[in-house]
Amino acid sequence: MSANGRTKRTDTAAVQNRLNWRLVTRWLSLTSVLMLLGGAAAWGVVTLRDPAVLPLKIVRIDGDFKNLDRRTLEQAVSQAIVGNFFTVDLDRIRAEALKLAWVDQVTVRRIWPGTLNMWVEEQKPLARWGGNQLVNDRGGVFTPDVESIKKDLPWLEGPTEHAVEVVSQFKQLGDRFTALGLVIAKLAMDGRGAWTIDLVQGIELKLGNKNTAGRIERFVQLYPRLEQNEKHKIKRVDMRYANGVAVLWGDAS
């Protein structure tokens, strides 16, 4: 083999070695950079989790409260306000507030750099529900302190799983009866789905559980004629008959 051939092979090997070292150097450099970035990220996470870094300085609770005690609300959520601006658990704060009977809806948000803002909407009772509960206009049943339940609210009653249906029926009937000068004192649905209405005017209305809408319409048409009886007062109207009604009369005096 000639000297020129050996020289070419030697030069080629040297070039290859230099290329390999460059690749190794680049790989080591990239690895070092990634390790540094990973370390910096880990340090950043640890730092941001430190309660002393960006602590919450202001906790603001907004809302129009009539029955909800602000101090009770503050005490309820205070145990959930743990951590700093980044780590405080907003869902936990919201959950603690919703445990209070008079709290309907809660929105919690961060405001840079150190404020936690809560907007709390208080329950607005539509009526009493059963004995010691209240219900809102969406059919949400809640249980406040008995002392806070106003006795002048109308009374709704039925299986809790049908609260939405009972509230809907109450609203519809209220609109129809207002035109007749009648006011609902109590609306009840029993376990069979049968409806009974007690009116402020002292009338009990039996609707049963079939063709309720049709029976209500018949009563609306019939009531003005029944009211014309000046000698007797209407005590009960039973609409559960297919071809008629049963009326119980009382003394007009």
pLDDT for the residue numbered 23: 60
What is the reported pTM? 0.78
CATH number given to 58-122: 3.10.20.310
CATH number 3.40.109.10 is the correct assignment for the domain at 126-251? no
- CA atoms of 177 and 200, how far apart (whole Å): 11
Average pLDDT, stretch 52-63? 90
Q: How many CB atoms lie within 10 A of CB 206?
A: 17
DSSP one-letter string for 172-234: HHHHHHHTTT--EEEEEE-TTS-EEEEETTS-EEEEESSSHHHHHHHHHHHHHHHTT-SSEEE
* pLDDT for 39 beyond 80: no
Dump pLDDT digits (tens) for 113-127. 999 999 999 999 999
pLDDT for the residue numbered 168: 97
